[in-house]
Structure 1
Amino acid sequence: MEIKKSAKADLERGKGLSLLLGLLVALSVVFVGLEWRSAVTQAQAQEKAFNTQDVEDVMNIEDQQKPDEPEPEPQQAQQTEVQLPDELKVVSNDREVIKPSFVSVDQDKPLPPPNIPLGTKNVQVDEEVDQAIFEVVEEQPEFPGGMEALLKYLAKNINYPESAVDNGIQGKVMVRFVVERDGSVSAVETYKSVDPALDKEAVRVVKTLPKWKPGRQQGKAVRTRYIVPVVFRLQ
């Protein structure tokens, strides 16, 4: 049995036309894409060129507005002119010349103390040491014959006051004095009192003491303070 085909149902008839239309559409799309990309690139190039040109114009304007600074002129050394007299006058030797007098601004101020030489200062220091009174020294002063001889001298030379005898007053008066560098006794005073009459007699007796052996400090005789008891006792 033979198969009959309808002309309307033939699919091969429009195949070539459809292919051509597809190719045309594809080419149109590609062309449009290329044209758009070219336009964007051209616009960016123009914008870049515009910006560069603006910067150059601004720089040119600033350069034109900046005035040219004048170069500093070299300074010339100042010269001082000295005028000499036209004529030199010779003064006679017989003519009196007034000498200028100079007054110091410090003439009314007191003068400072003179400098003391080193040797003089040492002498003053030695004098101060010699005048100092020592309470304790390396070698104590000594009465000729020792303490026993001192007590015998005091007992032998004391005159008991009658007022103290009548009132029955007795006791021990402490007398303080200074043994000088030459051994003599000075600055005698009462250190511990008992009675005015007894105190007075004790001071009198100590003032009559003969010279002592002076006290010594570092091998040198010095003024030394000393205290002795003067005993008053009724028999």
Structure 2
Amino acid sequence: MPDEEVKPEEKIEEIKDDAAISTKTVETDNKVQIVQAPVEDKGTQVVEAPVVEDESKIFTKVEIEAEFPGGASAWTKFVRNNINADVPVDNEAPEGTYSVIVRFIVSKDGSISDVVAETKHGYGMEAEAIRAIKKGPKWTPAQQNGRYVNAYRRQPITFVVQAN
């Protein structure tokens, strides 16, 4: 390495053992308090805008699901009491087990809307399942981040057609 690139070493001043620390009190008539300047410069940070959620958004997954008054057993009882299980038989459906999947929205006020059948077996089963679900009372709405929200629900309803 050439000599011109090497910097001379810094000389460290030696502290003598006989050095004394003063205990003299300095009096002043200065009454101004010194305020420490802020350490962080908050004026240059990136600030995220508050998230504005769409009030009409329909959630597929929520923290707390919508619930029928009285819980799942009350919902099952309601569906059984309000479904006319003879509809497929009356419409001459062949013998078998049919599962109708119905999707609906439980609004944030607890009302049921947009009831649609996701399956298409025919024989009046989808229409009967939709009719029974629409007949229901208000639900306890779903919750997300501590707020009531609109949320989808899916309900399978099984029709069994037996030969006489």
Q: TM-score, normalised by structure 1?
A: 0.43
* 1:176 and 2:100 matched: no
1:1-235 aligned within 5 A: 125=52, 129-159=54-84, 160-161=86-87, 162-164=90-92, 167-168=94-95, 170-234=97-161
- Rounded Cα–Cα distance in structure 1 between residues aligned with 2:129 and 2:142: 23
1:76-119 Cα distance to aligned partner (Å, 9 max, x none): xxxxxxxxxxxxxxxxxxxxxxxxxxxxxxxxxxxxxxxxxxxx
CA distance in 2, matches of 1:196, 1:188: 18
What count of residue pairs does the alignment treat as equivalent?
A: 109
Shift of residue 233, structure 1, vs aligned partner: 2.0
Contact 2:100 2:129 in 1 (8 A): yes
- Deviations along 1:112-169, one digit per CA (max 9) or x if unpaired, are xxxxxxxxxx9xx45xx2100000011110111222211111111111211146x435
Q: Post-superposition shift, 1:211? A: 0.7
Greater relative contact order (Cα 8 A, min sep 6): structure 1 or 2? 2
Q: CA RMSD in A?
A: 1.9
How many Å separate the matches in 2 of 1:172 and 1:164? 17
Sort the Cα spacing of 1:164 and 1:206 in 2 relative to 1 into closer, same or farther, 3 A.
farther
Structure 2: gaps of 5 or more residues:
1-49
**SS of 2:138 mapped into structure 1:** coil
Q: Which amino acid aligns with 1:151?
A: T
Identical positions, percent: 36
Distance 1:196 1:203 in 2: 13
Amino acid in structure 2 at the alignment position of 1:147: A
> Aligned to 2:132, what secondary structure does the other structure show?
helix
Residues 175 and 164 (structure 1 numbering): CA distance in 2 closer, same or farther, change over 3 Å? farther
**Aligned AA (1:213):** T
Query: Structure 1 196/189 Cα, relative in aligned 2: closer, same or farther at 3 Å?
Result: farther
SS in 1 for 2:68: coil
Give the aligned residue type for 1:163.
N
5+ long unaligned stretches in structure 1: 1-121
SS of corresponding position for 1:182: coil
Query: Is the strand fraction higher in 1 or 2?
Result: 2
